Structure 1
Amino acid sequence: MDDNNNVNVDPALQDSGDSPSPFGGIGGSLSRIFKGDKVIWSVFIILCVISLVEIFSATSTIVYRQQNQWGPILRHAMFLIGGVGVIILIHNIPYKYFSSLIFILLASIILLILTPFIGTTVNGAERWISIFGITIQPSEIAKISLMGTIAFLLSKQNETNEGTLFKWMIGLMIGVCVIIALDNLSTAVLLFGVCFLLMFIGNVKLWRLLKVAGIGIAILLLFVLLLKVIPADWTQSGALSRVGTWQNRIENFGKHSEQTEESYFTITDENYQVAHAKIAISNGGVFGKFPGNSTERDFLPQAYSDFIFAIIIEELGIVGGIFVLLLYIVILIRAGMIARKTTKLFPKYLVLGSALMLSIQAFINMAVAVHLIPVTGQPLPLISRGGTSTLITCAYFGLILSADRFGMGRKKEEDDPLRDKKDDNDDHPSSNGGAPDKAIDHLEDKVEFEIIKV
């Protein structure tokens, strides 16, 4: 009887993707490291492969400047390897610990405030800050920490505190997004939109959301109107230096229908990026020119970042472009399936918020490449070249996998009252009989109490 018990595998571990490989060896080691939903892992690996191939092809201008053929791709590969480490770390942490994202949010707000004063300017924007020689993008840290904080507050919502928590959520969203918008408007709009959708999913009262939406639309219309009347001399330097960029993007996108055929096919400084993106897409056809054969990568200034989707279509064709689009749709659908199976609200909102951030940002990048919306500067998650953005994107995957593992584990535990205590401790690491979990519960209650008290 004892022998049989020793070889039995917990069904909960089998369902969550944590089952050991029956073949042992390398397969068993990998299954112990790469736990969680296999569909999410598969999409992640496919995106990494596409990223390596396309970044190697699209960084020709950087290779020419640096005179180093392998430098850009090795740098990107190192960030992807680091991203895998981030996923492995995060997806082994129980979701309860991510309630502390509110403290990371406070740190990111401080960094955002300091960035205009001590930040590094790239392409006319001060979005990066250097700490001990390491360059980071505070807005990316603010995105994931604000999303996690909103998810946490939504999970603590009830009839007695919903008004207070709603004010906290809106206040944090407005405060963070206004600071980001001063130098990165598209990221601010994306972040606010995702958090707003998360609040809608989190059963915040509809009349509250409609009021916020009405005020937001009014402010947006007023902002667009002001862009049209602000004199050009005010936008040359200082706090309004980015306004000139916003004006040009809106004007160039809006006058598309007013162009003659000759002006439409004339490449100027104003339409340079969009025109070459269109050429890249038209060159791709159905099946593309095959990786490494792009011509527009030498003309598009951000071929490896903002417009990498155009390069993907040029080299992999419309078929390849649709395949990449479907990968992000799979993330969204799979996240919805995971969220439905979780028993706790916090991991449910973490999964949905992470998936919405990844997929909506990807859709925005693709829409810019095909000229459906004005240029925004949003990278294609996990595929575009970038340091902070790559690592934070991997953190989103880690959050989804963590919520899948431990959220699903809680459900299995409730369904199976005879589950071995040892297995429970494996899913919720503790060196003192569950003391860390109790500490985190106490931390959540304390944070909630302090928020309501304020």
Structure 2
Amino acid sequence: MKQLISRLKGDKGIWSFVALLALFSFMPVFSASSNLAYLGHGTGNTLGYLLKHLAHIACGFAIIYYVHKIPYHYFRSISKWLLPVVWVVLAITMIKGTVIGGANASRWIQIPFVGISFQPSAFAALVLFVFVARYLSKTRTEPIDFMESLKELWLPVFITLMFILPSNFSTTALIFSMILMLVFIGKYPMKYIGIIVGSGIIFLTFFVLVSKAFPDAKFFSRVRTWESRIENFSTDKPDEDDYQIEKAKIAIASGKIYGLGPGKSVQKNFLPQSSSDFIYAIIVEEYGLIGGLGVLCLYLLLLFRFVVASHKATTIFGKLVVIGLGFPMIFQAMINMAVAVELLPVTGQTLPLISSGGTSIWMTCIALGIIIGVTKKEEEIEQEQKEAAKREEALQRLIDAELASEEQDKESYSIEDKVANPMNAVLNK
């Protein structure tokens, strides 16, 4: 174990908090999967779901380990070349996407010959954040030309979001808001950000108006879902989403301070998506306010380590990559918790590293691997500086020793001269 830990480079704090979240996830996933087990084969045996989650977590940590070994600056070029591939995959998903786990949106695609379902929007977000960080780091030292940035930055961004929007508005909004945050931190001019936000609002309005003109088109089917969720959030009209929120609130209220205990959740049998979208409600029901705040604190501590890692990074690209990949992860967790307590409408965002689901876990682990790769590079630079300082110190000691030896030789020569000169004088006489 010690040998394995010694091979893990980079920020040990990030490694620790990620491991704690992953280890904790087994208990709520094992408990909350019972309704899926009853629906799947009628026995209620959740062991299969636990083993599946274990495989996802194990693969996720393998991904973190191998990704963090790759020098992070390689991802500058990789993001540029992967973006067209992402567009092709998103287009295929839009045309041939499948419904997974009762989700009423075609946002998944089946990988041929493997039997694994994959959500391309999560991978697209990852590539897009690195792509934006690449552009901002390239133009940081030069005045930004708006027309040029439209072509090099915003056109790829809007093309990607255009493919994701019809099936997943919440993910599109999350990606767009995180990109705006990233360009703001990257010192993109505020007046240009205002123009981009206005353009995004106009495009979204146009999309909704077109969906009204063609209400029966499958391409615009999700617009009605967006409207109903916003309407149900602002009114008391009963709906399936209201049913989920009511069950989530009952679960949270039942948990009180200390919770009902591990595996003793009642609402997991009635709450749809209890092991993914609404797993935070099950956590609070079983572990109480203390457990809910504990999970929140782990995410906040992880956010703190991301801030420290960004501050320590010596390159602009490294700083922006940590912010661009780390902050959306924490923001997604906050959205998931806010939905569970009805601070936000139902969005379908999972709780990173805790909710079940391979795509969410693996994409999060790729992002973590890149972030840890940045901290590993800074750690290597710091280690090289320490070794260089040690070499200089050793060299200085060697020089001082040589100088001291020379001084000692000179003193011995002067003593011999003092002894020899009187003798020579006597002999001369």
TM-score (normalizing by structure 2): 0.83
* Higher alpha-carbon deviation: 407-416 or 146-155: 407-416
Amino acid at match of 1:47: L
Q: Residues 239-254 of structure 1 correspond to what in structure 2 (within 5 A)? A: 239-254=219-234
Q: Which residue of 1 aligns with 2:74?
A: 97
* Residue in 2 that maps onto 1:116: 94
Distance 1:380 1:235, change over 3 A: farther
C-alpha distance in 2 between matches for 1:177 and 1:387: 22
Cα distance in structure 2, aligned partners of 1:221 and 1:239: 16
Match of 1:282 in 2: 253
Measure, in 1, the Cα distance between the counterparts of 2:81 and 2:200. Answer: 27
How far has the Cα of 1:128 moved from its partner? 1.1
Name 2:270's counterpart in structure 1. Answer: 299
Q: Deviations over 1:166-210 (max 9, x none)?
A: 542211221111210110110011111111111111111122112
Which residue of 2 is the match for residue 45 of structure 1? 19
User: Aligned runs of 1:176-187 on 2, under 5 Å?
Assistant: 176-187=160-171
Percentage identity across paired residues of the two chains: 39
SS in 2 for 1:135: strand
Alignment partner of 1:169 out of 145, 153, 168: 153
Number of the residue aligned with 2:126 = 144
State the distance in 2 between where 1:325 and 1:349 align.
24
Would the alpha carbon gap of residues 268 and 239 (structure 1) be closer, same or farther in structure 2, given more than 3 Å must change? closer
Alpha-carbon distance in 1 for matches of 2:316, 2:379: 12
> Which residue in 1 is equivalent to 2:53?
76
Q: Where in structure 2 are the equivalents of 1:28-427 lying within 5 Å?
A: 29-64=3-38, 65-66=40-41, 67=43, 68-99=45-76, 100-122=78-100, 123-131=103-111, 132=113, 133-157=115-139, 158-159=141-142, 163=146, 164-165=148-149, 167-217=151-201, 226=209, 230=212, 235=215, 238-256=218-236, 269=240, 271-410=242-381, 413=384
Relative distance call for 1:376 and 1:74 in structure 2 (3 A) is: same
Shift of 1:76: 0.8
Alignment match, 1:13: none
Measured in 1, the distance between the counterparts of 2:337 and 2:151 equals 34
Change (3 A) 1:246 1:75: same
Flag the structure with larger Rg: 2
The CA deviation at 1:46 is 1.0
Q: Does the residue aligned with 2:106 lie in a helix, a strand or coil?
A: strand
**SS at structure 1 position matched to 2:108:** strand
The answer on whether the counterparts of 2:30 and 2:50 sit within 8 Å (CA) in structure 1 is yes
| AA partner of residue 91 (structure 1) | H
Deviation of residue 137 (structure 1)?
A: 1.0
Give the length in aligned residue pairs: 381
Which amino acid letter does the alignment assign opposite residue 79 of structure 2? L
Letter of the 1:70 counterpart? L
Q: Flag the 1:196–1:415 CA change in 2: closer, same or farther, 3 A.
A: farther
SS, match of residue 348 in structure 2:
coil
Aligned-pair CA distance for 1:109: 1.2
Check conservation: 2:10, 2:377, Cα contact below 8 A: no
Shift of 1:414: 6.2
Q: Secondary structure at the match of 2:107?
A: strand
1:47 match: secondary structure: helix
CA distance in 2: counterparts of 1:405 and 1:217, whole angstroms: 40
RMSD: 2.3
- Compared with structure 1, are the counterparts of its residues 79 and 278 closer, same or farther at alpha carbon in structure 2 (3 Å cutoff)? same
Partner SS for 2:317: helix
Task: Give the partner amino acid of 2:58.
Answer: I
8 Å CA contact 1:52, 1:73 repeated in 2: yes
Take 1:334 and 1:79, find their aligned partners in 2: how far apart are those partners? 24
Unmatched 5+ residue regions in structure 1?
1-25, 260-266, 421-454
Between 312-321 and 99-108, report the one with greater CA deviation. Answer: 99-108
- The residue identity in structure 2 corresponding to 1:409 is E
Distance in 1, matches of 2:72 and 2:57, equals: 23
Checking the alignment, whether the CA contact within 8 Å between 1:276 and 1:296 is kept in structure 2 is yes
Structure 2 letter corresponding to 1:40? I
Q: Give deviations 1:380-439, integer Å, cap 9, x for gaps.
A: 11111111111111111111110001134345646875688xxxxxxxxxxxxxxxxxxx
8 Å CA contact retained: 2:313, 2:378 = yes
Q: Is the 8 A contact 1:343 1:411 kept in 2?
A: no
Indicate conservation of the 8 Å contact 2:144/2:188, yes or no: no
AA aligned opposite 1:175: I
**Corresponding residue of 2:424:** none
- CA apart distance, 1:124: 1.7
Quickly say closer, same or farther: Cα 1:222–1:419, change in 2 above 3 A: farther
CA distance in 1, matches of 2:215, 2:58: 41
**C-alpha distance in structure 1 between counterparts of 2:73 and 2:224, whole Å:** 44
Contact 2:94 2:163 (8 Å CA) reproduced: no
The one-letter amino acid of 1:309's match is: Y
TM-superposition CA deviations, 1:270-327 (whole Å, max 9, x none): 5211111111111111111111000100111110111111111111111111111121
